[in-house]
Structure 1
Amino acid sequence: MDDAHRWLWTIAGAAAMLFAVSVLAERRRTLRRDPDRVGWMPWTLVQLIAVLVMVFGVAMALK
């Protein structure tokens, strides 16, 4: 395995961790007690981008 593949796997792993964090953050925001305390971070968009980066990284690493 060369350096390019290792970087792609590292990027895919980081995107997977970002996806997991964003899922937990979105769940926390959904279950908040005070409905007036909304956040400003678009966690759904973060999830989408993280999944796309992860899939792209894995696909390129396997190629």
Structure 2
Amino acid sequence: MQLQFWIAAGVALLIAIVAGVAEHRRRTRRNLEQVGWVPWMAIQMAGLFAALVLVSVALHAG
């Protein structure tokens, strides 16, 4: 059971990293008229929070 929490925490961290890269690409775009509609910062924060919660649960379960 503990391994599943670690895997889920890794996936959440991966989602946060991908969202961070996407937010960086959106901020440094060349064409300012091409605005994005995906809230990458909110997705990144949700991923980081989920990873934090899952790591704490995995540590408590072990």
TM-score, normalisation: structure 2: 0.93
Question: What number of residue pairs does the alignment pair up?
Answer: 60
The match for 2:26 is 29
1:60 to 51, 57, 60: 57
The match for 2:3 is 6
Could you tell me which amino acid in structure 2 is paired with residue 31 of structure 1?
T
- Runs of 4+ off more than 4 Å: none
The match for 1:18 is 15
The match for 1:41 is 38
**Counterpart of 1:32 in 2: which secondary structure?**
coil
Long gaps (5+) in structure 2: none
Q: Percent identity?
A: 33
Deviation at 1:55, TM superposition (A): 0.2
TM-score, normalisation: structure 1: 0.92
Deviation at 1:36, TM superposition (A): 0.8
Deviation at 1:18, TM superposition (A): 0.6
